A = this chain, B = another copy of it.
Amino acid sequence: MRRAIEIVEVGPRDGLQNEKIALETEQKLELIHRLEAAGVRRMETVSFVNPRRVPQMAGAKDIAAALPRAPGRSRIGLVLNERGFDRCLQTNCDEANIVICASDSFGIRNQGAGVGEQIAAMQAMMAKRPGKDALRVSVTVSVAFGCPFEGEVPAERMRDIVAAAAAVEIDEIVLADTIGMADPWTVQARVEAAREVAPSTPLQMHFHDTRNTGLANVFASVEAGIDVLDAAVGGLGGCPFAPNATGNVGTEDLVYMLERAGFSTGLDLDALIGIGNWISGLLGKTPSASVTRAGRFPPAG
């Protein structure tokens, strides 16, 4: 056996956010409950974005209210600005995940603020957080490997945001390949660059499979010592900048690859395949996760 790898399930948030069909609150809750029954212990359950801008994310308050805090479970709320952080503080969420886009153009389109303003907002949020035990706070560096508007994102840009997050003692930093264009060699170089400026902050990685490099980037990360990875059941999601592309790395594919190599994830692959098929059906699509289409190996049972 190799070590344990923690998978943070982002299907209910990043997965659903980029699907054409918006689910009802009850359906989202069923997805969350099914995932927790399959072994998920940490999950992005809601986004405190304006539902007029992202209708797929409506119902955040009701979803959070339906999920009372419980030992061994962590529900994460995504936060794009101080207003979202204030909303998160009024809920049961165990964690807030603050997004900082690594390019000004992406930041202005996504959350109406350039990089400098987003860093200032993070500092303001951390100043009013009630305490680490009451609310864990992570920062996701979005478009950390490339931006659909600006193209290449320099490593220095990513590193400056990581350094600013470490300076206010963020609990965890997530490097995100939001548009799925990273290669595994660059992933290893950026993990190293992030560690230089944030040596004592745990790093987590978030990959999209847009150009099929998702699991290669996962392998590169695990080899570089990363222990926490995001994934979405069914490979939910898509890419608003590439209409025919697939979305997040599928949880089933990630669990298959890791467990086959002897890592433990604590997740039930057969249950995940069932959920991937069910949720893809609700969204009117073929599952993007390859293992859910092809079947596991060796076959179950």
Contact = CB atoms under 8 A, between A and B. Distances in A.
Given A186-B261, A220-B219, A290-B246, A297 B213 contact: no
A214 B211 contact: no
Q: How large is the interface on A (under 10, 10 to 19, 20 to 34, 35 or more residues)?
A: 35 or more
Interface in A155-191: 179-181, 183-186
Given A219-B220, A220-B219, A297-B179, A291 B212 contact: yes
A2 B205 CA distance: 25
A187 to B, nearest CB: 10
A294 B185 contact: no
Contact of A211 (B152, B219, B253): B253
A237 interface: no
A71 interface: no
B294 A242 contact: yes
14 contacts: A146-B298, A151-B298, A184-B219, A185-B219, A211-B256, A211-B297, A212-B215, A212-B250, A212-B291, A213-B257, A242-B293, A242-B294, A245-B293, A246-B293
* Top 3 A-B pairs, shortest CB-CB distance: A245-B294, A212-B290, A181-B297
